[in-house]
Amino acid sequence: MAKRSVATMALPLFLSIFISIFLISITCFQEERSIYLVLLEGNGVAFHEGLCDGDSSRIDPNSEASKARANHLLASHDLLLQSTLDKGGYNKLHSFKHIINGFSVHTTPSKAKKLKGVPGVKLVAKDRGAKKMTTYTPDFLNLPKGIWAEEGGVKNAGEGVVIGFVDTGINPHHPSFAYNPLHPFNSSPSPFRGECQSGPMFPDTSCTGKIVSARYFSAGVEAATTLNASVDFLSPFDADGHGSHVASIAAGNAGVPVVVNGLFYGRSSGMAPRARIAVYKAVYPTAGTEADVIAAIDQAVMDGVDIINLSIGPNEPPEDTLTFLGLFEISLLFARKAGVFVVEAAGNKGPAPSSVMSFSPWSVSVGACNTDRKYHASLHLGNSQTIDGVGLSGPSLLALFKLVLAKDAMKTNGTFPRTPEYIEECQHPEALDPKIVLGSVVICNFSAGFSNGTSTLAAIVDTTKALGFEGFILAANPTYGDYVGQPIPFAISGILIPRVADAQVLLQYYEEHTKRDERGTAIEFGAVAAVGEGRIASFTGRSPVVSRFSSRGPNIIDKDKDPADVLKPDVLAPGHQIWGAWSPMSVTAPELRGDNFAIISGTSMAVPHVAGIAALIKQYNPSWDPSMIASAITTTSTKYDNLGELIMAEGYGINTLYPSTPFDYGAGIVNPNWARDPGLVLPSGFADYIRFLCSVPNVDKGKVNATTGEQCHNPFDYPFNLNLPSVTISALRGSASVRRTVMNVGNYTETYIGSVLPPNGTIVNLCPTLFTISPQGKQELEIKLTVIQPTQNFSFGQIVLIGNLNHIVRITLSVLPVSVH
């Protein structure tokens, strides 16, 4: 909040009101000002004749000649404005002096039009603005006006709840995790008890209140491999960035400025910005082991966390047992038994079916989707064509520059290998002729190195800086097809062209304007291009859309991918192009090195959204157990997008969409404001999960006893009778009766009426369809499903319970009708 001046605060009330009205009456008759960018003739300091040989990296900005040129430009800008516009009619904001010659000015449209007619003015363009958008997802999920407001605003959201993050550690120096002594926490989180383990890059002072505990687990990884002491710190410090990113999404402080490469992108906030953070580092840049992860989960439960966030975990199903009986899943079962809400990543193996990597009904599996925020980058060609691309990059000086294909700039007498990374991927500056590429926009190809992961964008950026490119392009290669480009912030102008069709348009234009000799060597470069502004977001289009990488159902019970009677993923949350805190070391993502924030994608990013939302629900309903929180989140989710249509999902091809199903989105996109007060929940406990395990087809009951310590005395008739907030039947033959029990968690007696949308090939009868339920009361529902037409694939439906106090409860139905008998 902005501070009012002392003078204004001292004014009598009537005088303040009078001045306000007077100022409003005047401004009503004035043009509204905007920011305009003005480009002038003449070079900036870096390219001014006599100061350099054309290589801007060799300019000394503190030299007397450079200072003289800069002062001359500054004076010329001021003189142009003073001689063209009336005093008081404008406010110059910046003078661009080093790489371009121009300025930005805050003025009216009519005065901007006047500037366009001044000799020496090349361009006047209106600034399109940069909306505050980081972390945009609280607004996308409507938290500020919803559950945050209900819990006392952002300054109280998540108070008293501890989220444990089993991940790559945390960057304790980041402002997202700073403790503000002017806004102390209300009390110590009880009964939490942790420890702050110090070590390299993680001093004793790292746990100051926001971070209440920090531990690391390395015995497994130290046994499995040789660690690199320069990056694999034996401390809770995050050298990777992943753990810091995840923690900030769930519980990062509110209102943290996000600045990358000098540009302010907005202010960040976690879903539950007043929740406490407990860190359990179990994955290292070099490697990670399931043993360390399970040890971390075990310790987190012992410490007393309320929620465990698992954005990491095994990447394959167990080899020699049912998915539900793997030790990782069993550790989560006991976390649930201890009253800890566990939320996991669905996995990043989509869009293949049965690719989900979170299996058990006692944890919540989260798929990833986009938001309506999109960054649009563009490449402008000399023939007036524009090609869309990806990249958070500033424009290349508002002008067109020579376009050069990297392999046409290769040194002919170099001793380097003639491999793709040298001749076309811009990985090694020594392979390119600096006289050709200096001041040019260089086309680098997506080739073998990028396909196998040995080449990096960071190397392209380094080459660009070393040789003085004006900008770079990473163009798709027909040999390798379209690739997925992410909007990575670049400190220099650059753009990714991930579609082969667009790359071919670019290369056709290039070849048409490039002269070659009889040997095919480029001898004249006539093509020109400019990288456009790529850092401005738009907030239009369809959302949410299930992300391509998000793992899909149906859930599986074994490595042979036999389907399970449990819906996965459970729910959908934003996980595509999400801003979050980062570690400047960025060991595994060199293109983000030095940045304090990063925009990345994955179901890893979707998980902390749900973890933070669970913290808000826990704060509002402290007596709820994990199954009640899970039920509230899923039964209040929606399967419709912002256009009022069924959520779509990305397919294998770039920009391909198909109508999604619950195997893509689970119950739907999470709605935290409805989840806080769901009306009804479907609770289940540890004994119910044992009954479920004992009812899984072909289960070894001795193994259930061995892994859980419990006997199979009272299994369910079928595993689908576990009291989940969904019904999944992987092989329905004839008919089946399914039972569900709902509990009223509201404060008032409510009457519900039920309706059914049956899956194709079935009829579904619900009994009762009308019932009245008192607070804390329970009601059993019988759901009879009968096959009327066998199908080859699963079909989907839902049961909807609508209460007279405006509660709406949805139970998703997923059924494979196999036979009528």
User: What is the reported pTM?
Assistant: 0.80
pLDDT score for 4: 37
pLDDT digits (tens, 9 = 90+) for 193-220: 899 999 999 999 999 899 999 999 888 8
- Do the strands 528-531 and 401-405 form a parallel or antiparallel pair, or are they unpaired? antiparallel
The Cα 430–Cα 375 span in angstroms is 33
- For the chain, helix, strand, coil in percent to 5 are 25, 30, 45
pLDDT per position as a tens digit, 716-747: 999 999 999 999 999 999 999 999 999 999 99
Task: Using DSSP bridges, classify how beta strands 545-546 and 648-650 pair: parallel, antiparallel or unpaired.
Answer: parallel
Distances (CA, A) of 173 to 89, 202, 206, 545, 584: 44, 9, 8, 35, 11
Query: What is the enclosing helix (H) or strand (E) of 335?
Result: helix 327-337
Burial class (CB in 10 A: 0-12, 13-18, 19+), 88: exposed
Neighbours of 710 (CB within 10 A): 15
**Interior CA angle at 814 toward 810 and 817, to 5°?**
140
Residue 376 identity: H
Rounded Cα distance, 178 and 181, in Å: 10
Task: Report the distance separating Cα 465 and Cα 17, nearest Å.
Answer: 55
Residue count of the chain? 821
> What is the model's pLDDT at position 132?
19
What is d(CA 606, CA 613) in angstroms, rounded to the nearest whole number?
Answer: 11
Q: Which two tokens stand for residue 632?
A: 């509230």
Average pLDDT along the chain, 821 residues, taken 10 residues at a time: 37 39 42 75 70 46 77 90 89 68 83 89 57 37 56 70 96 94 80 92 93 92 87 96 96 92 88 95 90 87 92 83 87 90 94 94 96 90 93 83 95 86 93 94 93 90 94 93 87 92 96 93 93 88 92 94 96 94 93 92 95 95 96 97 94 89 97 94 96 94 85 95 98 96 97 97 97 97 97 96 97 96 85
Whether 503 and 475 have beta carbons less than 8 Å apart is answered as yes
378 contacts 538 by C-beta, under 8 angstroms: no
Catalytically active residues, by annotation: 167, 242, 604
721-297-277-139 Cα dihedral, nearest 10 degrees? -40
Question: In the chain, what percentage of residues exceed pLDDT 90?
Answer: 62
Instruction: Name which of 602, 693, 26, 541 is nearest 702 in CA terms.
Output: 693
Structure tokens at 461: 């950026």
- Given a contact cutoff of 8 angstroms between Cβ atoms, the answer to whether 580 and 265 are in contact is no
pLDDT in tens, 631-674: 999 999 999 999 999 999 999 887 889 999 999 999 999 999 99
Between β-strands 648-650 and 441-445, what pairing exists: parallel, antiparallel or unpaired? Answer: unpaired
pLDDT reported for residue 28: 40
Q: How many CB atoms lie within 10 A of CB 468?
A: 19
- Going across the sheet that includes 735-744, the strands are 680-681, 735-744, 778-787, 762-767
CB 396 within 8 A of CB 56: no
pLDDT reported for residue 372: 86
Distance between CA atoms of residues 106 and 225, nearest Å: 59
Tokens 């919540």, residue located: 364
Stated as kind and residue range, the H or E segment containing 206 is none
Beta strands at 401-405 and 441-445: parallel, antiparallel or unpaired: parallel
Q: What is the pLDDT of residue 131?
A: 22
